[in-house]
A and B are shown apart, each in its own frame.
Chain A
Amino acid sequence: MSAIITLDNVYRAYRMGNERIMAVNGISMEIYEGEICCLQGPSGSGKSTLLHLMAGLEKPSKGSITIGKTRIDLLNENQLALFRQKHVGFIFQNYYLIPTLTALENVAMPLTFCGVPRKKRMKKAKELLEGVGLKDRMKHKPSEMSGGQQQRVSIARAFANNPKVVFADEPTGNLDTATTFEMMNLMTEMAKTWNQTMVIVTHDTEISGYASRIIKIRDGKIEKIENGRDFNDEKINAQKNLV
């Protein structure tokens, strides 16, 4: 398997008052193409920071991060924006939908920034929403939807521009167990269908069942890397039945 994301000795320091905190303290690792990788760790372990660094939302204090063939730590903000537009999708714990736009418009938003004509992007957004099972919720505003429905919209949005990598930051943190499995099934299925790489940050051990690899983080360092059950169909089916 070839690496799609490569981190080489990455550090990220924060200044809190007079104290200097190493959120990411010398991490080197690879994420492989098409895998579903889970970053696990207690809160404050630096797993979220690591995700933000990989996604180019933050710059490392030291070290290099490569996605595909691009050194994203060297890109300026505009180049990063373009890079995100083309290659990266995001799913957040708080969904981060734009409250004034409908589900359909929210999903079409990344395509708007790419300059896709209105008709085309609306068609694509419709397909995606149908794919996440929100066929009859397209004209609803986020405030008119449940948490699970909002997260579905945000998943659809993350896949809108066919990204190479989808980053998910505690995607199920605000959802109940049943919905959690629902979401995870949806995400992994979509990623599998489009052969996309997924990096999920979570402290939820249930989710690890979906991952091909689990990277445990503690105090800004990699504690250990576990191989996941690599799509244990049995287990997934069992969870599906649960739902």
Chain B
Amino acid sequence: MSSRLRKWLLTSPPAEWAINQLRELLIGALRQGPVPRHIAFVMDGNRRFARDRRIESIEGHHLGFEALAKILEVCYKAGVTHVTVYAFSIENFKRSKYEVDALMDMAKVKLNQMCQHGDLLDRYGACIRVLGQRELVKPDVLKAVDKAVEMTSRNGNAVLNICFPYTSRDEITTAVRRTVDEWSQPLPERTGASPFKEDRIAQNIRKQNKKGNGNDTEGTYLSPPTSMLSPSSSTTSLSSNGDSLPDSRSSLSSSTTLHQSSSPPLFAADPKDALSIPSPEPTLPPLQQQQQQQQTSPPTYHPSPEAITPSTLTSHMFTADNPPLDLLVRTSSVHRLSDFMLWQCHQNTEIAFLDVLWPEFDLRTFLPVLWEWQWRQKKMRSENEDGKGRVQGRERSDSRIRADRKRTVKRLVGEALD
């Protein structure tokens, strides 16, 4: 009886209005602090919720969708730009056919409905992306997916990633495969001569050397150009037009260009030289370059595998252009990642395991998570600032010394002129 009364009270218009205002206020307050840019949700617990309430499991999924809509509203209002949700795992195909079909149907209906309100979607400015193995989806659902993705692709403010038939291992595998694929494409031979000539550069180097350090470094300098010119005629023709490209791949492609890219660190002290020579591959430390230099292998027209870094793989993930994942929330007190965002969240992501079931998840349960994240972020920031403050102080004193020196030099010069 009392519960019914409470429900009646809470659903009465004035109470709802007041609650609404309070929510707006809290979200507004949340915006004042640091806000995660990218949050991922594992929507777990729909079926258990349905079982507990003795309703059909698909009803549970519908309620889960409502919860998702509410949470998305909170996220976007609070200033989260990227939200990733785990909607359907590849493993979920193991569930009963009835449930899988019902889920697919639900996805289709929702996406189709969304497409009916195209101009309303624009107002939210959210762009929908579907991550995962598209081949596993039925064609009719895929059509709805493509339409929704296409319709929202122009929106740029916020992104909703729906992981549809997704597992993280599959994602990593795909990323590795794509990277390997990209790396095994032979580099296109470029036409059109570059404005720079190797001979001239070598001459300039020699000149600068004589002017600058004297004879002792000349030997080290002159050896690269000689070896540069020595390889077979085909390579020289390539290298002569291959040196002006800032593209990292081309600078690594032929052994001859490598010599050049390794030379700037030697005389980086002179800014003119560093400018006249195309910038070297920044990700490679000079040591590696020298190692490669020593292997006088025949020139391959493939990019060097050594140029693959963790960030290369990151850029081949489904979430390539998203900011790093700040927060991962999993509901229904399961303490596993279950093959979700493994690559993305193993670094600095805070993971929150909550005891509520997904349909019950709302602002009330979400706010403490966000507050805690903010609290930690603030603490970390203040600690960093302490550390940085010390470094900055040192830098400042350095710059002061430099300025002092400059002043004394000026004064001395002035005195000399007088």
Does chain A bind chain B?
no
Write the residues of chain A forming the contact surface with B, with a CB cutoff of 8 angstroms: none
